[in-house]
Amino acid sequence: MIMRVPPGAPHVLRFLLALSVPVVFIYICSYFVNIPTWALILLQVVSVPAYVAARLTNRHYRQVRAAARYGAVLPPAHNGKQFANFDVLVKFQNIYKNGYPGDGLTEVHAELGGTFNLAILWDTTVITNDANIIKAVLATDFSNFIKGKHFQAFMYSVLGTGVFNADVVIESVTSISSKDMQVSLRNHSSSQSFVTDASMNHDKDEAIIKMKQRLQEGHAVDFQDLISRFTLDSATEFLFGVSVNSQKSPLPYPPRSAAAAHQQENAAFADQFVRAFSRVQDTIAARGRLGYIWPFLEIFSDKTADDMKVVDSLLNPILEKALEHARNEKSAGLRKDNEVEDVHEDDTFLDHLVRCTTDKQVLHDEILNLLIAGRDTTAGTLTFSIYFLCMYPDILARLRREILEAVGPYRRPDYDDIKDMKYLRAFLNEVMRLYPAVPFNVRYIRYSIDDTTVPNPDPNGKPFFVPAGTPVTYSVLLMHRRTDYWGEDAHVFDPDRFLDDRIQLLLANPFIFLPFNAGPRICLGQQFAYNEMSFFLIRLLQNFSSMDLRPESQDPATLPPKEWSKFPGRKGIDKMFPKSHLTAYANGGMWVSMKEADVTDTA
């Protein structure tokens, strides 16, 4: 059995070795210069902070000179009140736990503009919500921005060498190139694949059936839990050719009900997987927020290890079966290595990947990355979709009317039906505008490999200089809510903005709307996601005519604080507590009740 080194240990060792340079230098000098012991010790102690201060000062002036050579300036800096901006670190850690997404950053953006420097414990990050800078990072200057070793380090214990944690090609002779990934996705899934399969597969209605049963018992339903099961089953069926059938497990009861305690003691394995899957994302997101501090908290143990054992206990048997199937095909002469383009009708997505490599760890990492992409992002968008339908009954009525006019109360939609439902697409776009699946792309930090410049939003200002090695963090959520991009009603939920004259704002600058990222790393499964979400909403609104939030059913500690109602924008409007790890979710779940549609109801 291979003993894994805790992820923090190597980073801490490198850090200590770097700090030892001045200490060792002075010790060596003591052999040539007679220095009293007390003075030697004092010099060694003082040398460490002096060495750090000298390096930081040199770095700053080197960057200022480099910016001048580029005819640029450094972005404005946000400074806290304490040494090394320690108070800013504490503030943002508290905001993550107890605040609304964007708190802290919104105020700084209002003061300094859409782009600023933030140095916490001397670790500098450029933070932006500017569409033109995001365009440079993702598209026009894409080759100059990579994920980089720092990002990959804190993600590695979960994402490994998978697509979300790798640059263009994974640095391994057994790796899967991004081109192979694109070919595999293209061959295995068309924009019609989910709808075609779902129209013939009545198991896709399992979630709705379970919801009806629980509502008939008189209990509210946690829609977030329900839809997470639906998307997990859909994702595993798409990737592996077999569903994990998490929807077969009983739905959770409201936390304060008597039935809830008994249910927690008898959680099914699929439920354990879902919880472990969520916890590992929380852990690696926390590492990202802590910057280079996180290794010091994981010197002796890997905080993701226990949860990854649960995740791997589901993935590894599936991978073993796929590899065994590939070996049997090869020995029978039915396949050759690296036949990525060779598609068989009954192949799964995993079968395609096995043609690229038989390295189990590489396959494991890619599949886990795609599970996050295929499950969590879609589940989050559908959760917030139901939230907005509960909040705005008039929008629900209009959406349901479009659905019933197109497919009636019973018929399953096909691809053409979904394509023709313009208001449904506008509704989903508006959900993803206000609550994009990945609201803060600290998970997609790219570390500049060469000094570069990015556009200054001030037409009279010099470009912003970004030094080599600087992480650039961009917030799609904050960009999607900028009134200078979307109008004064940017915080209002209104799907019509994608149908009326306001669409000109988007057409003038498509990079103000990035629910699926952009450029070479744009989400390859966006059409699959649109179709999956559309199909589910159509079937849901064929079965239910109205819905309401049931906040009294969830843990009071997970509800938004009452004082939020005094704030402007969505923070003062929303009746739920949005949070994010790698992806956005509703704190405490999304507890709702729904009214079943009458047979004669035509909306």
The Cα–Cα gap between 12 and 292 comes to 9
The Cα–Cα gap between 247 and 379 comes to 14
Alpha helices (H) along 481-560: 483-486, 503-508, 526-543
The Cα–Cα gap between 107 and 100 comes to 12
Decide: helix, strand or coil at residue 77: strand
Decide: helix, strand or coil at residue 592: strand
Alpha helices (H) along 408-517: 415-420, 422-434, 476-480, 483-486, 503-508
The Cα–Cα gap between 82 and 388 comes to 41
The residue written with tokens 């938004």 in the block is 560
The residue written with tokens 């989050």 in the block is 380
Under 8 Å between Cβ of 457 and 115: yes
Nearest to 431 by CA among 291, 266, 227: 227
Tokens describing residue 454 = 């990015």
Under 8 Å between Cβ of 335 and 326: yes
The residue written with tokens 């499950």 in the block is 375
Whether residue 523 is annotated as binding a ligand: the answer is yes
Nearest to 48 by CA among 11, 12, 18: 18
Decide: helix, strand or coil at residue 174: coil
Any residues with CB less than 8 A from the CB of 41 and at least 6 apart, and which? none
Q: Phi and psi for 118 in degrees, rounded to 5?
A: -130, 115
Question: How are beta strands 77-78 and 115-120 bridged, if at all?
Answer: parallel
Which positions make up the binding site? 523
Which positions make up the binding site for heme? 523
